[in-house]
Amino acid sequence: MMKKSGVVLLSLMLAVVLMLSACGKNEGNTNTGTANSGTNQEPAKEPTAENVTVTLAGWGASPEEQDLLNQTLKEFETKYPNVKVKYEVIADQYMDVIKTRLIGGEGPDVFYLDAFEAPGLIDKNVLEPLDGYVTPEFDVADFEQPMVDAFKQEGVSYGFPKDFSTLAMFYNKKDFAEAGITTPPTTWEELQADAIKLTKKEGNKTVRYGFGVAPELARQMFMIQAFGGKVSDAEGNATFASPEALKGLELVTNMHSVDKSSGEPKEVGAGWGGEMFGQGKASIVFEGNWAIPFLESNYKDLEYGTAELPTVNGTKGTMAFTVAYVMNKESKQKEAAWQLISFLTGKEGMKTWTSKGFALPTRKSVAQELGYDKDELRSAIVAGASYATPWQAGSTLPTVMSNFNNQFVDTFMGNSKLEDAMKKAEDTANKEIAAAK
Amino acid sequence: MTQASSWKKKLRNNATGYMFLLPTILVLGTFLFLPVFYSLYLSGHKVNLLGEVSYKWVGFKNFTRMAADERAWIALKNTASFALFVVPLQTAFAILLAVILNAKLRFKNFFRIVFFMPTVTSSAVLSLIFMWIYNSNGLLNRVLEFIGLHGYNWLGDPAVAMKAIMLMNIWSTAPFFMVVFLAALQDIPDSLYESAMLDGAGAWRRFISITLPLIKPATFFAVVMGIIGTFQLFDQSYIFSAGSGGPNNSTLTVALLIYQYAFKNLDFGYASALAVMLAAVIMIVTLIQRMLFAEEKLN
């Protein structure tokens, strides 16, 4: 009896082990399968040779945007019937997920990359240089130069920008009329004066701030540069506590702590500037193109206009945000991946993708064709492209940014002096950068 | 001959035993012991996994680096103050809930379910619900204003952000320990209370002199588990601060810092060293508690 049960158990165990190893083997088989198809294709260089699947990863967006991307991908699949696109949405902590997947060898073939993370990934040598794939028809010169440069290192392109946005000033027309302001402010001094007029209090609680501001580096980098300051130097060390940088940042914090005419979204229970603006809790915000479809669908009756950001120290400035499609260096089907990238950032694909105004085209020809430079709301955003500061500053920017944000919020809330807070943030960032070397 | 067969039998018995254990050994080995030893190994190396994979032996450099790492100290301080604040309150709160449930109450089962609800709810979901409650125009501020106090920017102000997480954590973990205390309370024989009552002891006296001493083992368990749990706080401060530990590092915990170094900076060596440090701290704290507890036992 004993013996029998032992044998049964043993055979059960064996079965389980066999099953497990079989699973492992299967996986191996499919891997080598796709590898074969990739290598088979390369010498042929003929897209019609075999059916391949390219994975494309990106972060989530509104359902309307998602539909538009799916439409663009469908157009691609009709044009290249042998290439199937497997589109994956990474819902949260996009860069953490992408990096982890790249480490595990499970990275997507093509993925979104924000300009601000680009230097870090290029340094790690995990992106495929794209210059070798570019054909004359692709027409690189057609792109807005600063947006292409954001994904270049030592003259080599690692990605092509899919779209971009700068920051523009969104202002509430009704609030302006109520306060007797006829034209949007064009200088920072005017903005300060208008914001005080626009701020509304009930009792001692502010129900509407004149100016809604995001106290974070991504939105304040151009303020650091307004008086000649720099976020970091050539070695990647933080330098945002210099007197020049503080001069610009002081303008931002003073409006909150001295004038009491600006506030951050959380102070009025909003998640971000667009929401704050839509709810009528701020009369002016600096936001990008992404806020337009958001306001359109959530706050239909809001009467607002856009204008270029007010000048600081007599010069124009704003931020530019751009995202590119890049290729995984370990991709097994690089030809097909390039076909996808070249279609999505090419004239045809970009036209579909930017046709509804969720994103602005980085190609001059597409922008002209779609007429965004004459659009009532978007012309201010397009105009900023020529003088904008791209949101990028070397591979140490993530460390610099997290330390800046941490301390800047604190000083913005009035808990510490700007100079001390920035000095502390700069020191901590530089210590971390040195320790990580 | 008999000896040989008994030896054989023993071997077979042992083999059968290990066969039974095999699934557990495999699972634990792969997902528990292997990672533990691997992180010990990593903590002595400078690791680069993205791009060109390299492991460079650096000895104790990762550990000495901690001394100069301000954020590590802030994280440790935050975590310790979190534990110091949360553990006593959550234990007291759990005892209170358990005593209420142990009393002869109407609709006892209903209250049991209601009290236990926070513990069975996913902590990610709870965090999101609490973010609404803590919103500047949210429930908590409305209540505070209604009773004449002024509200806070709970999520954005460094001065109160961690307090917000503390309150939520107490509320959500106390019910788990309540169950432990409830079981302990039901083990106390009624005759003890009866005789105390005959001696003229009031309800408070009975609680202090009978209930508390008799549930001491449960209290020890609750405090130890509470400390371990609070030292490993991650999900709630991660969700509240969207992974940053801000504002101004006020919600940065050691576990969150480990996550940031490992997955944001891809510095797995240093992250592993921090993890080893956290494990050591928890072990030391637990040992101290055991010593304190054993001393009282002798008395």
Q: What is the pLDDT of residue B296?
A: 58
Question: Whole domain around residue B96: which residue ranges?
Answer: 61-298
- Please give the Cα distance from A107 to A96 (Å, whole number): 12
Enumerate the β-bridge partners of residue A113.
Answer: A324
Indicate where chain A has its CATH 3.40.190.10 domain(s): 48-166+321-374, 168-318+394-436
Please report, to the nearest 10 degrees, the dihedral formed by the alpha carbons of residues B37, B38, B41, B47 taken in order.
-170
Ranges of chain A with pLDDT below 70: 1-49
Is the domain of B36 the same as that of B78?
A: no
Q: Identify which of A194, A187, A196 has the alpha carbon closest to the alpha carbon of residue A171.
A: A194
Q: Between chains, do B246 and A413 touch, taking CB under 8 Å as contact? A: no
Q: What is the pLDDT of residue B53?
A: 84
Q: What is the pLDDT of residue A8?
A: 52
The pTM (predicted TM-score) of the whole model is 0.80
* Domain annotation covers residue B54: no
Flag whether residue B9 sits within 8 Å of chain A, measured between CB atoms.
no
Q: What is the pLDDT of residue A24?
A: 41
Residue in A100, A102, A410 closest to B158 by CB: A410
Q: Are B128 and B208 in contact (CB under 8 A)?
A: no
* Domain annotation covers residue B51: no
Chain A contacts to B (CB-CB under 8 A): 6, 9-10, 13, 16, 93, 95-96, 99-100, 102-103, 124-126, 264, 266-269, 398-399, 402, 405-407, 409-410, 413, 415, 428, 431-432, 435-436
Q: Are A313 and A226 in contact (CB under 8 A)?
A: yes
- Please give the Cα distance from A408 to A424 (Å, whole number): 10
Looking at CATH, the fold of the domain delimited by A48-166+321-374 is given as D-Maltodextrin-Binding Protein; domain 2 (3.40.190)
Q: Are A219 and A401 in contact (CB under 8 A)?
A: no
Q: Between chains, do A407 and B248 touch, taking CB under 8 Å as contact? A: yes
Is the domain of B260 the same as that of B217?
A: yes
Q: What is the pLDDT of residue B295?
A: 59
Residue in B16, B68, B246 closest to A9 by CB: B16
Reported ipTM exceeds the 0.90 cut: no
Q: Between chains, do B20 and A9 touch, taking CB under 8 Å as contact? A: yes
Flag whether residue B138 sits within 8 Å of chain A, measured between CB atoms.
yes
Q: Between chains, do A96 and B49 touch, taking CB under 8 Å as contact? A: no
Best to test chain B binding among A102, A264, A401, A406 (most B CBs inside 10 Å): A406
Q: Identify which of A135, A97, A131 has the alpha carbon closest to the alpha carbon of residue A113.
A: A97
**Which chain B positions have a beta carbon within 8 Å of A409's beta carbon?**
156, 158, 246-248
Q: Between chains, do B68 and A124 touch, taking CB under 8 Å as contact? A: no
Q: What are the start-end ranges of the H helices in A301-387? A: 334-344, 347-354, 364-370, 379-383
Residue in this structure with the two tokens 């304190």, named with its chain if needed = B292
Is the domain of B244 the same as that of B271?
A: yes
Ranges of chain B with pLDDT below 50: 298-299
Is the domain of B103 the same as that of B145?
A: yes
Q: Between chains, do B247 and A410 touch, taking CB under 8 Å as contact? A: yes
Q: What is the pLDDT of residue B297?
A: 55
Q: Does domain A168-318+394-436 have CATH number 1.10.3720.10?
A: no
In tens, the pLDDT along A185-238 reads: 999 999 999 999 999 988 878 899 999 999 999 999 999 999 999 999 988 899
Q: Between chains, do A103 and B153 touch, taking CB under 8 Å as contact? A: no
Using CB atoms within 10 Å of the CB of residue A78, give its burial: 0 to 12 exposed, 13 to 18 middle, 19+ buried. Answer: exposed
Q: Between chains, do A406 and B248 touch, taking CB under 8 Å as contact? A: yes
Flag whether residue B22 sits within 8 Å of chain A, measured between CB atoms.
yes
- Would you tell me how many other CB atoms lie within 10 Å of the CB of residue A437? 7
- Into how many domains does chain B fold? 2
Number of A:B CB contacts under 8 A? 87
Is the domain of B15 the same as that of B144?
A: no
Q: Are A83 and A77 in contact (CB under 8 A)?
A: yes
Q: What is the pLDDT of residue B185?
A: 92
Is the domain of B97 the same as that of B236?
A: yes
